[in-house]
Structure 1
């Protein structure tokens, strides 16, 4: 396990640079006999964290992080990639609200549990160093080298600042080898997966290209009692093409084109108390169609004493959605006429969301082998977000804020300068420090034209502006007890800017939409990282405390019959433990445990949303855990002449959590079991797999309109199938 040298990093100094080949799960693996002969300890390949001040080994980085790579990536379903990543990461919980809220997470109990705009950066999602919109498509698992989840405030080394942490998806880069991988899967409930990955040198040692294509689909598994058939169908398409230009050992450029499509008919919520649970009473079915197109250019050049890096990107995301506001199974307890609940022409909204974003960053950094590690840089992020909603069919006063014709536009201009350094103070003791200055301007334009819904006005216009400048950063110490063990402690300042809501609840009634404040936090962390028994065992542990002011939390406002965002103070504390161990040359075990207590504080008495000091922060499980095992052996053990047999299984647990700040509704804990069994050799593999083997219909989100009208978002059921791949 060694950090990559400058020469090894010729084709990619600013992104993940570990030597993980295309689709590691399908690489040939040495037989047990060969492994014993080689006598080379093995635990983890080196994963280089993108954007750090040096190419730091993920193990050695003085912060709490989790890395998902190799076979584990292949086991994550492409129809819900963020959920798959979150369940493999201690103290990381995805906010599964559906609709446009696809990149919304909570780390260590900190995060916006209901995103007010696509500009939210409580938890940042990045692909190849490029920040993603909170309303963008979930990053695809297609052709990845690794996914890294880093806990605690981020931003001192580039990208968008985050208050809670970051999730980084690291795509494979082109290489100067010729490769072709074909993979396919078939399973129950209409599961289909097809994947093609091709890599080729175009000009020897100078220009290389890579193309990755994937399509997957799954039929719905939520019966619709009104329309018949099933809701919940998902179709996902992804494509990535990249060109690497490397004219010399110190210079390279990477041009990448990305395309993604993600369509589903998953109900946002269904009745928890329905006799047919899980089932839907929607008419028409909800429909969400999302499409993303982006291009990015990375350029790196090594000067004599430092490295220069530049990233530029532009992306365009569109979302078309049809939303039935009145599911009869949820609202029939309120005495609504059945014909109103089941009508396809009443209380339906049709919306179009369009976002165009631009990101540019330049930075200078030290080389990996320099004793004084540093990074300085600046970036800008610009976004234009426009929404048009047709709610002219909304006649129920309960949903008046959805009514009429709404044409709203939002603009963000963000500018940042950042610096980070790690320097030796005395033998084995290092100082960790970083600072980021951010300035953001946000503009909102609301245009409302009423359709006569009770309680609404005929038209209303509001222009709003929000501006803020703030400092974030960290200071800490790390100490190397031995070459195999290190401890660290740090204090960090985090923030996520305020602004205006993309969903106006006041405009239809003739009132201005209020601004919400910037949320700030202090984060304290201490941890230990150790490698034992000739690197066959790795144990990472950390503890933390977060003090959050004006946190953006989800609350139900009975006067509006709607879920709104509030700004409440809260605190979170707990810890993480992760272990990976090679028990024998054939058997590897891994596991993670996260524990978080998150409670509201300084809450004024008599607020309209039922919040009380001491209540649990919503959607924060106290306990998260995962454990997995993988066994590999020479196929001769079962009478095959060549190749390996392999089997793996994992259990992922998410604890109970509250649905909103009043703690009136709780979501129960759940556990999911996944497994895979197969054979592989140098160029092919076949396997059987099971995701959610015991068909746990877990509750991913919840709320309540009142007694007898609880609603939930339900997770995907069991998928069992077969797969095969061939590699040339």
Structure 2
């Protein structure tokens, strides 16, 4: 029961809400110790502890823009995947095809334009406990997560893969000291919605030296794009598990061994004719097509705390497998394109298979300062070996099929890529004045990437293409990245900062070889580099009753990667285009009344193309000053939460909670020639229920107004635009049992 005037995290009450955020605050939340950090003394509840710079520190002292979500926020907002996360974060853009592998992000207008050219694009990198995840395995279902930190701006100083636009840092939950078991279940009210089951076991295994946890989840999202041939498209079945062992052989050593596995069975609708067509969204697919994806990871994190420093080793193996069947001649679209009845493309005249396998090994060794040290520093080295294989096959049976429209989208490809990446890094933060109010940060990273490739093309009957073609080579890239910042502590609860950061991502050989069908070599795409400038302010006000963070930024990117569709042709070619972007983001929260908390954020980004070469302009229609595709100018989120005793309902043994969200994503250009837009969309989400000592029960509604967000678009010809769409409304009930 709530007897105090203000409240904060569930089951925890305070005379005054002095946290920097929680499920009720709408922005950030106090967090436990990171996996690489051993437990310390009880922390001040007003401090938001993060590891955004690989050392544990108060977020108010970190001179960069970041959003933090704790486990309670993740649970109460039902943030179960990347798509739900980013709608709560200012200035993030997203492209997605619905097949799991093809979700790609940008931040502040920086990021690959449309689809990435290579499998190792490092625009926005997802990390789990410090380990970079495979690009095509980053759109994942969250499981057993303690905290998520979304870091905007280049993170190529202390993070392991030169995240040029930003990073998503996921910290998993560690085994508990006491036995804790939970069961969560959700059921939807109609067959197009979703069902979810999740269980977790955690507790000691051997005295105080060994603890363990196990979590597993299964979710089934029903398809809600009508297939006029029969049935529904868009179904997603996701299974995931994670097990963790935490050993503390002595007071200064901590070992964490984690094993995870994920399996997705998807039936994506892929592209549909854009809204404005009858029965949107709908398709006519025969065969329907499918996508299967599996991911796995094994990691060992060892941390030892010495008298003056901490030593951390991270060793990890990652596995990614994907295969699918895609119907490339969706009948409604191609009937419109070729002015033919849709029956002319049923059953499919053109389909393809895509088979990817990726294996990676990652090793990092670093040293860092102790918690709360006057001089904060981190230094280390890391190594990544990545092995990626792609096999795809296009099959066509008619001259009307798109494979016969383009000589490029034809044949069989069998490509093999290997990358060895080495890096040295270091960052130092120290006081510049005796009062220690003014501090400076300087960080530097050197990265060397060595990439080898072997690509084989085999004709499968297309007239005019060569019978076979092989190409191979090795590429070398050296990158110097880093950042410098000044931050001034106005008061204990107010900080000003300014920073400049150098970002980069290496070039490479494209995954998809365009010139091979004509017997010509494909040229590697160039490395990209950027400069990012930022000024900001971080503040806690009214004794912790409110908080607000403001950041202004400007980015210049050279040779951003573009996989562009050539005008009026079914051909996609790799290009490089410069971009520039500027904007702002504001996040905050406020205890507006005794049991009410308001929070949210707003972001603005203006991103445009610069220095477009004439040959690129001729092929793609891009022009100087055109807007960067998939980047919304405005993103907003607003959350109102209520939490109180259920006495008013006649249930004194329970608490009542309610949460309402409004999220808005402005319209975006679909491609670099800016010939059509993806419309703005908003989502309204609701959740309300009762919390008993060992049971939570609740009702929820996701996307109340049944909007259909459009994520990616292609224009085949004027008036024939296709898009990918997200899921509509989901209404259901859930429960969580604490044992």
Into which bin does the TM-score normalised by the smaller protein fall? over 0.9
How many angstroms apart in 1 are the aligned matches of 2:300 and 2:250? 18
> What is the 5 A alignment of 1:47-66?
47=31, 48-50=49-51, 52-66=53-67
Q: CA deviation at 1:32?
A: 4.5
| Structure 2 equivalent of residue 23 of structure 1 | none
Residue 320 in structure 1 maps to residue 323 in structure 2: yes
Whether contact under 8 Å (1:223, 1:279) holds in the other structure is yes
How many angstroms apart in 1 are the aligned matches of 2:665 and 2:334? 29
SS in 1 for 2:356: strand
Q: CA deviation at 1:57?
A: 2.0
Whether contact under 8 Å (1:555, 1:566) holds in the other structure is yes
Deviates more, 1:491-500 or 1:449-458: 449-458
Deviates more, 1:268-277 or 1:242-251: 268-277
| Structure 2 equivalent of residue 434 of structure 1 | 443
| Structure 1 equivalent of residue 469 of structure 2 | 460
| Structure 2 equivalent of residue 718 of structure 1 | 729
- Pick the aligned partner of 1:540 from 549, 556, 560: 549
Change (3 A) 1:382 1:51: farther
- Pick the aligned partner of 2:478 from 461, 469, 478: 469
How many angstroms apart in 1 are the aligned matches of 2:16 and 2:139? 38
How many angstroms apart in 2 are the aligned matches of 1:611 and 1:101? 27
| Structure 2 equivalent of residue 25 of structure 1 | none
Residue 239 in structure 1 maps to residue 215 in structure 2: no
How many angstroms apart in 2 are the aligned matches of 1:326 and 1:77? 36
Root-mean-square deviation (CA, aligned residues, Å) is 1.9
- Pick the aligned partner of 1:528 from 531, 537, 540: 537
Change (3 A) 1:117 1:341: farther
Residue 166 in structure 1 maps to residue 167 in structure 2: yes
Q: CA deviation at 1:443?
A: 1.6
Residue 421 in structure 1 maps to residue 428 in structure 2: yes
Q: CA deviation at 1:155?
A: 2.7
TM-score, length-normalised on structure 1? 0.93
Residue 688 in structure 1 maps to residue 699 in structure 2: yes
Residue 669 in structure 1 maps to residue 671 in structure 2: no
| Structure 1 equivalent of residue 187 of structure 2 | 186
SS in 2 for 1:243: strand
Change (3 A) 1:376 1:286: same
**CA-to-aligned-CA distance 1:321-374 (integer Å, 9 cap, x gap):** 101111111111233665885344631111211000111100000011211110
Q: CA deviation at 1:76?
A: 5.6
- Pick the aligned partner of 1:39 from 5, 11, 15: 15
| Structure 2 equivalent of residue 555 of structure 1 | 564
Deviates more, 1:29-38 or 1:495-504: 29-38
| Structure 2 equivalent of residue 285 of structure 1 | 288
| Structure 1 equivalent of residue 89 of structure 2 | 89
- Pick the aligned partner of 2:497 from 488, 497, 515: 488
| Structure 1 equivalent of residue 715 of structure 2 | 704
Deviates more, 1:239-248 or 1:393-402: 393-402
Deviates more, 1:287-296 or 1:560-569: 560-569
Count of paired positions = 698
Runs of 4+ in 1 over 4 A off after TM superposition: 29-38, 75-78, 336-341
Q: CA deviation at 1:92?
A: 1.1
How many angstroms apart in 1 are the aligned matches of 2:496 and 2:5? 37
Change (3 A) 1:394 1:130: farther
**CA-to-aligned-CA distance 1:488-508 (integer Å, 9 cap, x gap):** 001110011111111122212
Q: CA deviation at 1:279?
A: 0.2
| Structure 2 equivalent of residue 131 of structure 1 | 132
SS in 1 for 2:684: strand
Deviates more, 1:413-422 or 1:278-287: 278-287
Structure 1: which 5+ residue stretches go unaligned?
1-28
| Structure 1 equivalent of residue 649 of structure 2 | 638
| Structure 1 equivalent of residue 157 of structure 2 | 156
Residue 358 in structure 1 maps to residue 334 in structure 2: no
Change (3 A) 1:384 1:340: farther
Whether contact under 8 Å (1:137, 1:262) holds in the other structure is no
SS in 1 for 2:618: coil
Whether contact under 8 Å (2:154, 2:501) holds in the other structure is yes
Structure 2: which 5+ residue stretches go unaligned?
22-28, 32-48
Q: CA deviation at 1:466?
A: 1.8
SS in 1 for 2:329: coil
